[in-house]
Amino acid sequence: MDQEQQSILLESASRFPPQKGVKLSYGTAGFRADASVLSAAVFRVGILAALRSLKTQSVTGVMITASHNQVSDNGVKIVDPSGGMLTQEWEPFADALVNAVDAEELVRLVIAFQEKEKIAFARTQSAGILLGRDTRPSGDFLLEAAKQGINSIVGAVASDMGILTTPQLHWMVQMRNKGKMASESDYYEQLSSSFRCLLDLIPKEATTYKIEKNLVVDGANGVGGEKLEFLKKSLNDLVIEVRNSGKKDEGILNDGVGADFVQKEKVAPRGFGPDDIGTRCASLDGDADRLVYFCLKSKNGNEIDLIDGDKILSLFALFIKEQLSILNKEENEEKNGYHVTLGVVQTAYANGASTDYLKKQGLEVVFTPTGVKYLHEKASHYDIGIYFEANGHGTILLSESFTNLLEVKNNELASIAKGSEQHRAALRLLALSKLINQAVGDALSGLLLVEAIFQHMGWSIQVWMDLYHDLPSKQLKVKVADRKSIVTANAETVVIRPSGLQEAINSETAKFPRGRAFVRPSGTEDVVRVYAEATTQEAADSLANSVAQRVANFCTA
């Protein structure tokens, strides 16, 4: 790094001094805190995004959002060139950079990291960073901080893409690095055209059922409601009513609304009541990367049947499995069969009933530690990998080799069996690959895929709810002096330290029919999280309490 670049960095960083006592850690959600203390962190993330772009010689992204957090919070995260999250190898540097005590230490850290990573600086434009923000009032001034961070790296250029959902920015970065059109209008066109394609391929027998095409969506008073209002104009085969869309005086972002609220509290969001009983409803979170469905019960307008990420995953898996079965129909498996690896990826928080159901359908189910970065990476090992967390965040990944195979198969069938079910199955999977956002969980693309599959199968929401019934569960937190005293393995399902704790958990679990429990240290606070499930809520509560007591005993011994 030459002297001029050092001077620019030093002068710019001096304008954004960190607040004393504020220490931040980069996780799945990036950095999050009260918006009033984030300016310095966002400025420094701008520097980080520029360095990442220089290192990879690709476009990166910076998203200003705090997702489902309260409106006074905000956050910032980097979109890697793949369209996914920042590579884990750079997270320690992100932490060090954001927590540098002053401008001088920041410059020293950047110089050392540049030398270690062999990042070349250039006088001409050599780094491109796309910027996005959600609808939070603090987004404007934080976005300006990010721009100044980017501009402090010579050759880096920031492009403000405006107010976006988080998945839209991820998609734009991914498409830009593939050399494809990547504007917001391109995003809408790809989703709507793929959705229409799937509807055009619905089997004739499915159209004999009366499909309820009305859908009511809770937009969490966030950016997703605003974008869905625009997107729905191009969806003639689906009637969408958006509530909590973020319009003035309609409500507060994430306050009694949104997918996170609905999934955790298991009640209807604000703006829904007895008049909606029997209607298919969905809820987005604040930045539209989570999606859950729900149906209001008749006995109480506030009670709901929740359809969470586990059931969304099950719906997608059944549809894909069906299309693969059709595609391989009448093929000689040894010579012409298409040996596709299809994997379902869950965490230990997935309800045991969902896992049992998926396995009974003949699907391969594997587990990872908690966190989207682990789920996404594992899903990428399959030709088709599907992952969802219960909170409604997830997506489908289709490998490039499988997508290429589909294109070849489609061309073959178009010439010898155009319009056959095999041909239509290939077309459906190709349409799915474009409708689903493969960069990250996307509530808008996920919602359209759910609705397309619903019409394909001719299902009611009750059929979906009855696929399986969740086992009652309970989650608790146990305060401990040092969460690192708990060490887990096997995707966080087994405790290996302290010695004897896992045996104690097993002893408690054995007391309950279909009992299951695990514990894991929190990634952000000195607590140990306890999860338990059993055949009744009373049993799940009792198991969780007894396991929590065991944790307390072992961690204070």
Q: Which residues are annotated as a binding site?
A: 67, 285, 287, 289, 389-391, 520-524, 529
- What is the gyration radius of the CA atoms in the chain, in angstroms? 24
Here the tokens at position 430 are 């190709």
Specify whether 67 is catalytic: yes
Task: Check if the beta carbon of residue 555 is closer than 8 Å to that of residue 485.
Answer: yes
- Exactly one of 67, 194, 245, 314 is catalytic; name it: 67
Three-class SS of 457-509 = HCCCHHHHHCCCCCCCEEEEEEECCCHHHCEEECCCCEEEECCCHHHHHHHHH
Measured distance CA(152)–CA(47) in Å, rounded: 7
For residue 354, which of 473, 454, 525, 196 has the smallest C-alpha distance?
473
Measured distance CA(370)–CA(227) in Å, rounded: 29
Extended beta strands in 315-439, E state: 342-346, 364-367, 384-388, 394-398
Task: Check if the beta carbon of residue 361 is closer than 8 Å to that of residue 318.
Answer: yes
Annotated binding site for substrate: 389-391, 520-524, 529
Measured distance CA(309)–CA(350) in Å, rounded: 9
Measured distance CA(376)–CA(394) in Å, rounded: 8
The three-state secondary structure class of 249 is coil
Here the tokens at position 91 are 């997270």
Q: Catalytic site residues? A: 67
